């Protein structure tokens, strides 16, 4: 079966849809019915939150299929399921950066699970030559759009000049 056929089958099987603002395709697979009340959450949250959320996420070799740099109010746990490795760029609050590879080759430094700490700029894409990657992301408390801050290309290039080339690749020119 070709990569294109696998991608089509994954999209149909999971009923994946484009992920606005970020890129890639996703479906939410879980959202807890139970809520944390706002008064029991840290101040960074402005409303109630589900106890947890989970999504399935697909990146492909399409040039526009990448996860734009973003920052979240909650830790996010990535899970690598199948396909080709992705590179996760992390821009830390202290001005440093890290590059993490999510993929199946765990004995050579790749990760099948990785936690991105809240407040860290994060973006990802397939490694060159890759065709697709199927991932999962889990958050607790659960994700709400108001917790999402999109990365601004010029600002992030100025704050992280050591990663400017990758920041340009992981941001969309029209992000405001």
**Each residue's pLDDT tens digit, 7-47:** 999 999 999 999 988 899 999 999 999 999 999 999 999 99
For residues 102 and 17, give the distance between their C-alpha atoms in angstroms, rounded to a whole number: 22
pTM of the predicted protein model: 0.92
* Cβ-Cβ contacts under 8 Å for 29 (sequence gap 6 or more): 14, 54, 55, 56, 136
Coil, strand or helix at 176: coil
Q: State the pLDDT at residue 174.
A: 58
| pLDDT on residue 20 | 82
Q: Are 87 and 99 in contact (CB under 8 A)?
A: yes
Asked if the model's pLDDT at residue 176 lies above 50, the reply is no
Domains of the chain by residue range: 3-169
For 76, half-sphere exposure in the C-beta direction (CA atoms, 13 angstrom radius) is 23
Where residue 175 falls among pLDDT bands split at 50, 70, 90?
Answer: very low
CATH of domain 3-169: 2.60.120.10
Tell me the C-alpha to C-alpha distance, in Å, between residue 48 and each of 25, 35, 43, 86, 117: 26, 6, 11, 33, 21
Cα torsion 88, 74, 117, 114: sign: negative
Confidence of residue 116 (pLDDT cuts 50, 70, 90): very high
Question: Which runs of consecutive H residues, i.e. helices, occur in the chain?
Answer: 3-14, 153-159, 164-169
Coil/strand/helix, residue 139: strand
Phi, psi of 79 (to 5 degrees): -130, 125
Alpha-carbon gap, residue 25 to 140, rounded angstroms: 21
Note whether 83 and 133 are within 8 A (CB): yes
Question: pLDDT confidence of 97, banded at 50, 70, 90?
Answer: very high
């Amino acid at each position: 079966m070709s990569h294109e056929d696998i991608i089509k089958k994954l999209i149909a099987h999971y009923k994946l849809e484009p992920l606005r603002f970020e890129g890639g395709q996703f479906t939410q697979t879980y959202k807890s019915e139970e809520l944390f009340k706002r008064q029991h959450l840290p101040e960074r949250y402005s409303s109630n939150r589900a106890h947890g959320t989970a999504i399935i996420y697909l990146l492909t070799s399409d040039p526009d299929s990448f996860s734009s740099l973003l920052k979240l109010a909650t830790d996010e746990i990535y899970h690598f399921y199948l396909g080709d490795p992705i590179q996760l760029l992390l821009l830390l609050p202290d001005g440093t950066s890290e590059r993490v590879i999510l993929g199946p080759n765990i004995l050579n430094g790749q990760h099948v699970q990785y936690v991105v700490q809240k407040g860290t700029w994060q973006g990802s894409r397939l490694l060159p030559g890759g065709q697709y990657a199927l991932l999962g992301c889990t958050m607790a408390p659960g994700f709400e759009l108001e917790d999402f801050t999109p990365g601004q290309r010029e600002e992030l290039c100025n704050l992280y000049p050591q990663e400017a080339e990758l920041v340009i690749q992981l941001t969309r020119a029209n992000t405001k």
